[in-house]
Structure formats: C-alpha cells, structure tokens
Chain A
Amino acid sequence: MASQEEATRQWAVLVVEDEILIRSAVAEFLRIAGYKVIEAADAAEAVAIFASRTPIDLVFSDVNMPGPMDGVGLVRWIADHHPRIHVILTSAISHARRAGESGAGFLMKPYRLAEAARRIASLLNDPPREDA
C-alpha cells in the first residue's frame, strides 16, 4: 500500500514523441491528470534529460522516431542506466512485435488518452521495479 508521502508526491512522466501534436496532447492530458510532465521530441532528447538528472518516474515513448535511437533502443538504454524506471512504448501495429519484445509495457496506436493515463497510473502505483 502506498505511503501517504507517495500518495501526495507528484509523479514525473517523460513523454517521448516526435509528432508535436500527439506529444502536446498527451502531455497536456497528463498535466491535467496531475502529473509533472517533461516532453522530449526524440530519444536523444530523452537521454539528455536523464543526463541532467531531472527526476523521472516513468517514460511514455513512441517507437518510431527519427535519429540513431528509436523507442526500442531507448528502452534498452533505460534498462542499462535506470532499471527502476517504468517504460511504456506506443506504436502502430507495424512495430508492435518489436515493442512487445523489448520488455516494456505496450500501448497500441491509436490510443485513447484516458487509457494512456490509466496504464501510467497502474504502473506508478505498482511496487517499484527491482534492479536488473
């Protein structure tokens, strides 16, 4: 059961998505839901945010993004460097298998924002992940 401190703490979600309209819609919805939301346009920006030691509790990332690292690569990087952080990948059905094999949670596009919020809440209210 979550402690009172955990119940009142504002969780920080990193939304990684190259399409600005999708990213903005997800971020705004999650802010209204009470999360602290940080936005990244690609995996490189996500890595830079982690390097800056900005507190992150969960990453919500698209799979297909421009640049040398896609969402699956980001999952691997996070597993290596921040194994306690939950990750949910999103993609269209064409990338679903790769996303599923990554070990991260998965939400197929198109998704309802309420479902994304429910999945995020579910993971954050679970016991913390064990270190790898």
Chain B
Amino acid sequence: MPVDDPSSSEASPSTILVIEPDILVRMTIADYLRSCGYRVFEGATADDVVTVLGTQQKIDVIFAEVQLGGRMDGFGLAQWVREKHPGVDVILTAGIAKAAELAADLCDEGPLEKPYHPQEVVRRINILVERRRTAPQA
C-alpha cells in the first residue's frame, strides 16, 4: 500500500506524468508504470507539463527525461515545478537504463506488484529501438 498519500486510506493509484521525447521509450515506461497500477499521462516536452498542470488534473509525480526538446530541459522543468507546483514530485532521468531503474523504484511503491524486472523494460526498449533503426525507410 502506498504511504505517500495521507489523504487516502485506500490504495488509489497515484497519477504520473511521463515526459520523454523518444516515443518508444515513453510508451514502454508508461506501459510499465500502468502495469504497476499507476494512472499515467504521456507527454514529450516541458510545455506538455505546463499544459497539464494548468488544469484541474492532479498529478502526483512528473517523471521526466533531462534532455528535452523545446524551451526548457528537465532541470529547468524541475525548477519551474518546484516554484509553481511545490506539491508535485519531479523525478529526472537520463537515458534508458536510468529511466527503467527509477520506474522500478516507483513500481515498488505502486498499488500493484511490479510486473517484471526493470532489465526487461530496458530489453523491450532496445528491441523496439533496433526495429525502428532497421525498418525500411518510408
């Protein structure tokens, strides 16, 4: 049972916003976190964070790659969130292995059991990326 949400006595899933510019990494990490019982939103840039946090949608954790395209990188995003939305946790990742490791840490706190080892997350991403690399050009 998650212990980070004092407002809820039941294990209602927390909501994570995954910000990752590489679609294959993003969808795999998002899938993994959903398998752990989290509600997951997906975005690619810091602007997506600004948009979502500008609504009534409650976000508990932002899981963001450091190297983002657009006007703000992960560090700038974390600073912005700390200033404007101090109740939202920010986890910064750099690279696939780190993202998988940190996602696994979140899954350890998630409502459901971790579905598979984080090494499997890395393996799946690498397979998808290799397929993309070797796919015939459009």
Interface residue ranges, A against B (CB under 8 Å): 20-21, 23-24, 27-28, 38-41, 45, 47-54, 77, 81
Contacts and interface: CB of A to CB of B under 8 A. Distances in A.
A47 B138 contact: yes
Nearest to A54: B128
A79 B41 CA distance: 29
A27 B30 CA distance: 12
Contact of B23 (A28, A49, A53): A49
B131 A52 contact: yes
A52 B43 contact: no
B23 A40 contact: yes
Contacts of B39: 28
B124 to A, nearest CB: 10
Given A20-B43, A24-B41, A40-B23, A52 B129 contact: yes
Interface stretch (B2-10, B44-52, B73-81, B113-121): B44-52
A77 B55 contact: no
Enumerate the 3 nearest inter-chain pairs by beta-carbon distance, A residue then B residue, closest first. A51-B135, A52-B128, A45-B23
B129 to A, nearest CB: 7
Contacts of A53: 128, 131, 135
B42 interface: yes
Given A41-B23, A45-B23, A52-B131, 9 more contacts: A24-B52, A27-B42, A41-B44, A49-B23, A51-B132, A52-B128, A54-B27, A54-B128, A77-B138
A93 B12 CA distance: 40
A35 B8 CA distance: 28
B24 interface: yes
Contact of B138 (A27, A49, A81): A81
A20 B23 contact: no
A20 B129 CA distance: 24
Contact of B131 (A24, A47, A51): A51
Nearest to B52: A20
A52 B24 contact: yes
